[in-house]
Amino acid sequence: MACLARARLIQLTKILHPTPWSFQKEATRKILCVPLFTHNKITRNYAASTPSYKYVLAEKRGEGGCVGLVTLNRPKALNALCGELMEDLKYALLELDADPNVAAIVLTGSEKAFAAGADIKEMQHKGFVDCYAGGFLQGWDALTRIRKPVIAAVNGYALGGGCEVAMMCDIILAGEKAKFGQPEISIGTIPGAGGTQRLTKAIGKSRAMQMCITGDPINAQQASEWGLVSSVHAPDQLVNEAIKLGERIGNHSKVIVSMAKASVNKSYETSLAEGLQFEKNLFYGTFATKDQTEGMTAFVEKRKPNFTDS
């Protein structure tokens, strides 16, 4: 029976997460060697022809290095999201997602700007065919295919693409001076990386419509009241608070956390009836894991569980 249960879990995983595996295949073609982690820093053991990150800093923080920290690092442009930065971000996240010691990932920018938007100079002279045939911005949603929880720690400006990237994360924490907005209307276009879709689901049609057709930003307090962010913190404490949250996530089984994340995200993409069935199937699937057995046994025996992520 245990073998049948485990086989069912494997089958469910393939059905529920078809995209990440193809995503990892793409990464395998481009990442030539397995990344090495030393002294809580990511050391990328790439071939000499492969450049290191130009616009992203990556390291491991928290107890035992259980939290990945990725910092957007294009300060002269307020972390404007150019193509090269988004490629750096994708592969930095992939490395941390593949690291068995990392339980959660924090994505942040500077205190002045999380990301002030997409790089306007990069898109200024594009035409319809350039965008449509070239799949402009198609690669941005790679962030949503990371299987570990991603926490956005937003200080300063999160405008346009910056707001969209924050909403691709699983949890958003904001600094007290953070500002969120979709100002694309002011430059003659509309959001193109999820702003009209994710924002509507997060704060409702009326508020999302107001933000998208006026271009007016909202502050951290409004974002909290409207349900866009989970909590608001002092700017100089924001990243530490996000890392602490990642550590709390790290107390639990990574495989069960991944299943919980998949189930919550499914609620955005399906009907209630389909979502409930999806949740039930994953719930049943947890009973094929060693961590479910350990967790319930530890509860009955009144001790702390020793999860093995299996």
Domain boundaries, the chain: 1-29+252-310, 31-251
Of the candidates 104, 153, 184, 241, the residue annotated as catalytic is 184
Question: pLDDT tens across 212-240, in order?
Answer: 999 999 999 999 999 999 999 999 999 99
* CA atoms of 242 and 153, how far apart (whole Å): 6
For 99-124, letters b (16+ CB in 10 Å) and e give: beebbbbbbbbbeebbbbbbbeeebe
Of the candidates 109, 156, 161, 181, the residue annotated as catalytic is 161
* CA atoms of 167 and 193, how far apart (whole Å): 10
Handedness of CA 207, 197, 260, 237 (dihedral sign): negative
Question: pLDDT tens across 137-161, in order?
Answer: 777 788 999 999 999 999 999 999 9
pLDDT at 269: 87
Mean of per-residue pLDDT scores for the chain: 85
Rounded to the nearest 10°, the torsion over CA 283, 284, 289, 294 is: 70
pLDDT at 132: 80
Question: pLDDT tens across 78-110, in order?
Answer: 999 988 999 999 999 999 999 999 999 999 999
The alpha-helical segments, DSSP class H, found in the chain are: 2-16, 18-30, 83-98, 120-123, 128-134, 161-168, 195-203, 205-214, 220-226, 238-249, 254-266, 272-286, 290-300
118 included as an active-site residue: yes
63 included as an active-site residue: no
Percent over 70 (pLDDT), the chain: 84
Residue 121 has pLDDT above 60, yes or no: yes
Residue 18 has pLDDT above 80, yes or no: no
127 included as an active-site residue: no
Of the candidates 65, 104, 116, 164, the residue annotated as catalytic is 164
Of the candidates 104, 118, 142, 220, the residue annotated as catalytic is 118
For 180-189, letters b (16+ CB in 10 Å) and e give: bbbbbeeeee
Domain 1-29+252-310 has what CATH class? mainly alpha
161 included as an active-site residue: yes
Fold entry, domain 31-251: 2-enoyl-CoA Hydratase; Chain A, domain 1 (3.90.226)
Are 1-29+252-310 and 31-251 equal in CATH topology?
Answer: no
